[in-house]
Amino acid sequence: MGRAQRDLVEVVEGRDAVRRRYLQLQLSSRHAIDTFVTGDVQVVGPENTEEPTVLSRGLQVRAVIDQSFLGEPRAPRPALTSLRHGR
């Protein structure tokens, strides 16, 4: 496997490391971030205080959300609000 192919995937392990990397992605992305959301919110949630700033820059954040996640008590309110408004 060539260097370019290896650089396509980054494995980040541990809650704190994932939080830090997601913050870095939010702050450095210019156009969009695509995510997958499953299970209980363990890493990125209400404590993500940078998200409003990032969204105000026009960054598009798209998510594929597991339907069972939306029924959980800790499901992020912004995700539910966005779905209700068709965003």
The residue-averaged pLDDT of 31-35 equals 86
CA distance 71 to 5: 37
* pTM summary value: 0.66
DSSP character at residue 23: H
CA diameter of the chain: 44
CA distance 9 to 67: 26
Strands, E assignment, 1-87:
32-37, 60-65
Whether residue 38 has pLDDT greater than 70: yes
pLDDT of amino acid 55:
77
Radius of gyration of the chain (CA): 14
The residue-averaged pLDDT of 37-46 equals 67
pLDDT of amino acid 52:
76
The residue-averaged pLDDT of 13-41 equals 83
Local confidence band at 45 (pLDDT 50, 70, 90 cut-offs): low
Whether residue 20 has pLDDT greater than 80: yes
Write the single-letter amino acid at 74.
R
Q: Are 74 and 45 in contact (CB under 8 A)?
A: yes
pLDDT of amino acid 62:
83
